[in-house]
Structure formats: structure tokens, C-alpha cells
Amino acid sequence: MGRHVYVHNPFCVRKCPYCDFYSITDRSLAESYYKAAMAEARFWAEFGKKAVSSDDGGPDTVYFGGGTPSCVPADLVCKLLETITDSFGIGPDAEITLEVNPASFTEEKGRAYLKSGFNRLSMGIQSLDDAILKTLGRLHDSKGALTSLDSAFEAGFTNVSADFITGVPGQTVEGMLKDLQTVLGKGVKHISTYSLMIEEGTLFFERYKGNIEELVPPETDRAMYHAVRGFLKDNGLIPYEISNSAVPGFESRHNTAYWDGRDYFALGAGAHGCLNSVRFGHYDNVESYIKSAGTIKEDEVSRLLGLGGDVLDSIEGLLYCEERLGLEDKMREYPFLKLRTTKGIDVAEFERRFGKGFEEVFAGELKSNVEKGLLMIDGSHIALTERGLDFANLVMEDFL
């Protein structure tokens, strides 16, 4: 137990104008894609037993993200999960999450997902203001989002998370808090909020390049961020990470494994994983994935992961090595990841993992950020201050 598996569904009904995740809209390939992913799941399960022990002692987690996993037939998603559960021997107390889009989620699908083992839904609501949803180019309106949310509970899910986007032109703090109030009233136990980012290569980049800061000044975005955190806290959801708040006990275990720097398996085109201290990615190409996932070879993967033979940097059409992490890299990555969390850096754990004192390795970085009021030391933990949250990226990068 204690393995983590990420699955990437690269299909969407339509590309949202702000999105730079890998996804395609030709869903005719979904069946062959899911078949290929089943083959890859079986491969990793066997490989995991023989060659990489990624067990961290906690419960297993499986996370189907995307793309839009709910826009392909539910039986494909369910069969892939069943293959993963059987081949990896996923434990009965596992957290198994599925990302869904309100526009393609139905109660009937929800029942099928639940039956196959999913026990957590993450729904991309983004906003309950129709004008904002229109700006974001979403396929659903607020009524559709609320109907889908009701359907999730009616299907039997009790652990439901909702995603929201903040900092959208035209959005107000009052409107945002009203949306949150509404979904909390429906029984949502976990909220993720992400500031709108204008990424190169998206339609929003063309539309807003150069003027997003005029439309949404950074101080407005930050004010909304703090108002949201405060509101959620007042309503019993603890902000446990920069973008995530949850009713205690409903924190995402899968994402927590990432922030803990744990190893995790990854399946599917565009999916990224980390095993044996090697960060690897799958090429963003559904066609080549379908051709190569079924013929993945053990010796090539061993070489890619530095487990024997001459080191390999890529496996044609399928995988490539992003980074081989040495001890020094892992030491630097630890504060980078942990500072995302409210608990922050656990000094004792750092010493256990790396055999060195945190304050000794990062004396300069720590001193300057504490002096600037961006970090605080609380017993054996070091975390961002309220002010530090506004400069989180700068502080985290300081440790890299």
C-alpha cells in the first residue's frame, strides 16, 4: 500500500481559451487510447513489483485527470480503473479521484464511476456567474454546474471537490464568495481555487496579452485570494495548501503525496511521473501513445529510470526523462514543494530524510525570508506568512 498512480485523459469536448494542458478534441481515438492505457497499467504494476518500491506506507491513491475524463464513455474509464485496481492490487482504503466537467457529467455516469471504485470527484465548476463562464469559454452555465453537482451527490458520492478560477476580468469578490457559499451549501467538502494565468499559445494570450493587469490588477487578484481563504476558513474549510482548502479529513491525499515529494506512477499521453528519483514524462501525442504503450519494454524503462544498463533518455513515441534528481536536488526540492502547504517544512523530517539540519543547509535563504516577513518559524515547522503567500513563488524559488 501507499502507491500513487496518475492517469491522464487527453480528451476534451472543446478547448477552453485559457487552457494549456495537453488535450485534443478528436474523441474517436478514445477507445484505442484506453486500451493502450490498460496495457501500460499492467506493465507498471508488474514493473513496480519487481523494480521500484514506491510504497510510502500510507493508503494508495489513484487520480484520473485531464483533459476531461467525463467526456469519454464511462465504461472506458471504469474498465481502466478496474485494470489498475486489479493489477496494482490497490488497497480498499485508497483515495480514487476522477476529474469531471459539469457539461459531460450525469448521475448515471456517476453511479457507474462509483461502482467501479472511484470515491472522490473533482468537478471543474470554475464559476457560477454566467458572464464569467462565458468569458472563460466554458461549455456549462451555472444552472448546469449546479445540476451536475446535485447529480454527483444523488449518485452517491460524499467526497466532492469543486475547482474555481479567480482573477477573471469582470469577477468580483462578493460574487466569488456567493458562489462558494452555494457549493458549500450543496455539500462540497474541498475547494481548489486557481488564479487565471495567461499562458503563451492559448487564445487568452492573444486576447489579453499586455492588458490583463489593467483588467485585473494584481492587488485585486490578491485581495480576492485572501478573501476566499478567509471565507472558507470561517466556513470550516482549512486552507492546507496555497490553492486548496478542505473540511478536515477531506484533504486530497494524492496531491499531498506530490507535495511530500513521493514517487508516483503515471499513465497516458502527457502524464508525468517520478520513480527512483527520475522525473519522466509521456510525449504529448495520443497517436504515438496508442502505437507504443502496448509494447513498452522492461529493459528500456529500467534504463530510463537508471535501474540498470546504459542510461536511456527517451523511449521513442512514449517516454522521456525530464530530470534525474540527485541528493542535492531532492534537498532543494523539499522546501520548494513543502512551502506550498500550510504546515510547511518539517525540520525533523528533513533531517531524517537527508541526514542534515535544514537550518544548516539553508541558513542564508531562511534568514533573509524570515527578515522580510515572508517565512515564519513555528516550533519544528517553517511556513509562509500571510504576506509570504503573496510572494510564494519568489520564496520557493529562493531554495532551488
Pair 270, 284: CB distance under 8 Å? yes
Nine-digit cell string for 122? 473533482
Question: Min. distance of Cβ 34 from ligand SF4 in angstroms?
Answer: 17
Question: Min. distance of Cβ 355 from ligand SF4 in angstroms?
Answer: 41
Q: Is 165 or 293 the residue whose CB approaches ligand SF4 more closely?
A: 165
Q: Is 21 or 354 the residue whose CB approaches ligand SF4 more closely?
A: 21
Q: What order do you get walking across the sheet with 272-275 strand by strand?
A: 272-275, 278-282, 319-324, 314-315
Nine-digit cell string for 240? 492546507
Q: Is 102 or 335 the residue whose CB approaches ligand SF4 more closely?
A: 102
Question: Min. distance of Cβ 308 from ligand SF4 in angstroms?
Answer: 37
Question: Min. distance of Cβ 23 from ligand SF4 in angstroms?
Answer: 5
Q: What order do you get walking across the sheet with 381-384 strand by strand?
A: 345-346, 381-384, 375-378
Q: Is 10 or 335 the residue whose CB approaches ligand SF4 more closely?
A: 10
Helices 347-354 & 327-338 angle (0-180, nearest 10): 160
What is the binding site for ligand SF4 (CB under 6 A)?
12, 15-16, 19, 21, 23, 66-68, 101, 124
Chain centroid, CA 39 distance in Å:
23
Q: Is 124 or 281 the residue whose CB approaches ligand SF4 more closely?
A: 124
Residue 177, beta-bridge partner list: none
Helix (H, G, I), strand (E, B) or coil at 120: strand
Q: Is 141 or 300 the residue whose CB approaches ligand SF4 more closely?
A: 141
Question: Min. distance of Cβ 192 from ligand SF4 in angstroms?
Answer: 13
Q: Is 191 or 339 the residue whose CB approaches ligand SF4 more closely?
A: 191
Helix (H, G, I), strand (E, B) or coil at 82: helix
Question: Min. distance of Cβ 146 from ligand SF4 in angstroms?
Answer: 18
Pair 309, 303: CB distance under 8 Å? yes
Question: Min. distance of Cβ 71 from ligand SF4 in angstroms?
Answer: 8
Nine-digit cell string for 196? 487565471
Q: Is 138 or 262 the residue whose CB approaches ligand SF4 more closely?
A: 138
Question: Min. distance of Cβ 284 from ligand SF4 in angstroms?
Answer: 13
Pairing relation of β-strands 190-195 and 244-246?
antiparallel
Helix (H, G, I), strand (E, B) or coil at 265: strand
Instruction: Round to whole Å and give the CA distance between 122 and 125.
Output: 9
Helix, strand, coil share (%) of the chain residues, nearest 5: 45, 20, 35
